[in-house]
Structure 1
Amino acid sequence: MSVPVLLVIALLLAGCGKFFVSTTTTTTTTTGSGTGNYIYVANATTGTVAGFSLSTSGLAVTSGSAYSLGVAPSSIATTPNGAFTYVASLAGAVYGYSVGTGGALTLLNGGSAVISEISPNAIAVDATGKWLVAVDLTPTAYLFQINTSTGLLTQAGSIPLDAGTPNAITFTPADTLAYVSLGTGGVDILTFNSTSGSLGKTNLILSPKSTNNADYGLAVDPESKYLFVTETGLNAVRAFSIASTGGLSELSGSPYATGLGPVAVLVDSTGSYVYVANRTDGTISAFTLSTAGALTKVSGSPFTTGTEPSGLAEDTTDAYLEVANAGGSPDLQVFSIGSGTGVLTSFATATTGTDPTGALAVVSAK
């Protein structure tokens, strides 16, 4: 999950390219062998990636973490099988890592970027793990084929996007559509074919409710029926039904109020809950998701996070929600997800390097 480019730039200024692309908090900092349930956090200020294994005992730092990137990351993504993790940078590159024993990361391509001469603000990997899309500020979407043996990338095409600032991209789980949020430009709607590896324009675009609003976070439910979009100005999450063409129809009851500055949204793997990270007020808004796409606030929502929550991920056991806090206090926060309730209970926290790290995005890997 990426955060908006303006927020990344703000982190860099605070010190915190182009073509070719009961609540008890437990902190565990000991190094372990890992459990096969790994978390990786992209740190904008320190130019590193921090790795952790997650178990019912807490968090353990992976061997060699934090991994130096040398440039400020803007986004992070992992393949569904957990074999490879990719990190994008506005400095003009995408780097790749293989995930080894205990979750340790090793740079691919001899330590050189796997893609250069583009400056992606967001990247995402499709459901098959064979394709990666990167979006930059030109604005353009670039499609790359992933070598599933080596993790290296080969460019497979590019398409221009509509006007705006690309800051997030998501595929439908059915792998037939992709959506790109463009800030004040709204949301671009793209077609995708994972068999042939083609990405195309639909000439459809979702506009914000008002010209002063901006769309950031994107998430689709597991059945590819609904798209959720966080929109600042509204301080809300909007809910849409998805047509076979990719077209969007806003559902009755939408938008749903969140906290201030909603920037990231996640639908859990069961399709039961929707979580929104509210960067400005440091909270997570939690909702239950009905079969008709309606949202109902979870008891106790919103839940308090660290400062400036910017990235969300669900662990591979589907039992925990992970939060990257760009402002720290803490850098990484893990909540347990209440079975049948969606209630978040603080479970573990960790620093992701020498603070301030600017932890802006988080992913999970097997």
Structure 2
Amino acid sequence: MRTRYWAGLAVAAFCLTGCKGFFDALPSTGGGGGGTGTTTLSSGDIYVLNVATSQMVGLFVNAGKLTTLPGSPYTLSAAPIAIAVAPNDASLYVSTLGGIFVYNIDTSTGQLTIGNSGQPISSDPATSMQVDSTSTWLVEGVSGASNLFAIHVSASTGLLASNTEQTVVLPSTTLEQVAISPDNTFVLAAIGSAGTATVPFNPNNANPFGTVGTINVKNANGAALSVAFDPVVTGSTAPRLFYIGETVATSGSNTGGLRAFNFSTVKEITGSPFAIGGLAPSSILPLSTGDFVYVVSKQTSSGATGVIAGFSITSANSALTLTALSSGFATGANPQALVEDSTHTFVFAADFGGSPDLIGYNFDATKAGNLDPVISNATGTDPVQAGAVAALH
């Protein structure tokens, strides 16, 4: 982690603007399978969207202290919806009710500078978006529209490389979440009760989209809410698995499930769907090492408090297996997103319903994938409705 001599000044400047309580003593958060406590470790930079206050907050953990990045918080012209960071860390995109805006990232400080003279690069109020691994295509979708869009952008500036948005028609007007495979060959789109759209992708084509296919929901009463791909691990050229988070996919009182598919065969693996201890899987986070995957549920059958389920990933005799960790990990109310920081030290959860807004987890000493909640705090003057979080790579 780079040393930031300005950290104390940034905190002081931020708190002069009325953020009482932002850096108060960290509240304790329980977590099954791991301990609760503090940390002396540091993280990479993360960015949180506060929906209720139309702000974006830049943060990092500095020797165990949650610290604001210079220039933070950033006032947005309209309520934010989604956020995405280009894989080369040059640009950050924020979708709002007023369109999609691009920010240039100073990777030495984490500070953001709005691009395109403060004007949106697209009028789309994107529900979900992601940048491909070449950092030249922003793929996004708008709930209520039946199209998936690809915006050609400059890898260095994030600005438009073409004024024409490429489109492909989806088999539903519901759009929950999109994901691009790390090898740039496929896009997944969770489209609610219609299942998950699978779209071939080639960043070298003028229109990168291919012919749309569909993976139906496991249960006719269910809905696909979230999608994700495994990283490309050492010795491979493509991800091993991809994931779909669905409602009404398993039995019991908490019926949300994690479906896992072999990427090369598009076949569901043995044991899938896997129970996640909650009702509505809002975000799936495959760890960068390829050893574990986590899924957070917005709520459980007992209330709005969310839960994170974790699974280890193993391969034996060419068969991939997911094994549930011994217990779930508590988070706040109505959690929306999970992200791993660039140092691969922390997992952060953004909680739309607060209690608290942001929780940072370390991996406990067992190295068995268990998450220990060690940082938790508000991301502004509550209620802020922390709706999304993104990290530098």
What TM-score, normalized to structure 1?
0.86
In 2, Cα distance between the equivalents of 1:272 and 1:205? 28
Cα pair distance change 1:202/1:70, threshold 3 Å: same
Aligned twin of 1:150: 157
- Residue aligning to 1:238: 259
Q: State the shift of 1:338 in Å.
A: 3.7
- Asked if residue 211 in structure 1 is aligned to residue 220 in structure 2, the reply is yes
| 1:223-274 residue CA offsets vs partner (Å, 9 max, x unmatched) | 322111111122110111123xxx6211111010012222111100011001
Q: Is the 8 A contact 1:92 1:120 kept in 2?
A: no
1:255 aligns to what?
A: 273
Secondary structure at the aligned position of 1:202 is classed as coil
Cα distance in 2 between the residues matched to 1:314 and 1:92 = 28
Match of 2:381 among 349, 354, 357: 354
Alignment deviations for residues 71-124 of structure 1 (CA, whole Å, 9 cap, x no partner)? 1211100011222110112x24101111124212221112111211x2311110
* Equivalent position of 1:5 in the other structure: none
Per-residue CA deviations over 1:97-156 (Å, capped at 9, x if unaligned) read 11124212221112111211x231111011121211111131211111221232212345
Instruction: Give 1:275 deviation, angstroms.
Output: 0.3
What does the per-residue CA deviation read over 1:19-78, in whole Å, with 9 as the maximum and x for residues that have no partner? Answer: xxx4115799xxxxxx88210011221111111123443321112212111212111000
Larger Rg, first or second structure (1 or 2): 2
Partner of 1:13: none
Does 2:177 match 1:177? Answer: no
CA distance in 2, matches of 1:262, 1:36: 26
Rounded to whole Å, the distance in 2 between the matches of 1:26 and 1:337 is 11
**Runs of 4 or more consecutive aligned structure 1 residues displaced over 4 Å after TM superposition:** 25-28
Task: Give the CA deviation at 1:195.
Answer: 2.6
| 1:95 paired to 2:101 | yes
TM-score by length of 2: 0.80
Map Cα deviations across residues 191-222 of structure 1 (whole Å, 9 max, x no partner). 11123353324342011112210111111111
What is the aligned partner in structure 1 of residue 60 from structure 2? 53
Q: 1:274-319 CA distances to partner (integer Å, 9 max, x unpaired)? A: 10111103111011011233211123x2001111111011010112
The equivalences for 1:167-316 within 5 A come to 167-196=176-205, 198-223=207-232, 224-234=239-249, 235-243=256-264, 248-260=266-278, 261-281=280-300, 282-291=306-315, 292-299=319-326, 301-316=327-342
Distance in 2 between residues matched to 1:27 and 1:259, nearest whole Å: 31
* Structure having the larger proportion of residues in strand: 1
Query: How has the CA–CA distance of structure 1 residues 193 and 77 changed in structure 2, closer, same or farther, with 3 Å as cutoff?
Result: same
Residues 197 and 346 from structure 1, CA distance in 2 versus in 1: closer, same or farther, beyond 3 angstroms? farther
Report the aligned-residue RMSD.
2.0
Identity of aligned residues (%): 33
**Which letter maps to 2:259?**
R
Aligned partners of 1:164 and 1:183 also within 8 Å: no
* 1:129 and 2:135 are equivalent in the alignment: yes
8 Å CA contact retained: 2:283, 2:297: yes
Instruction: Name 1:84's counterpart in structure 2.
Output: 91
In structure 1, give the amino acid aligned to 2:77: G
**Aligned counterparts of 2:203 and 2:309: Cα–Cα separation in 1:** 33
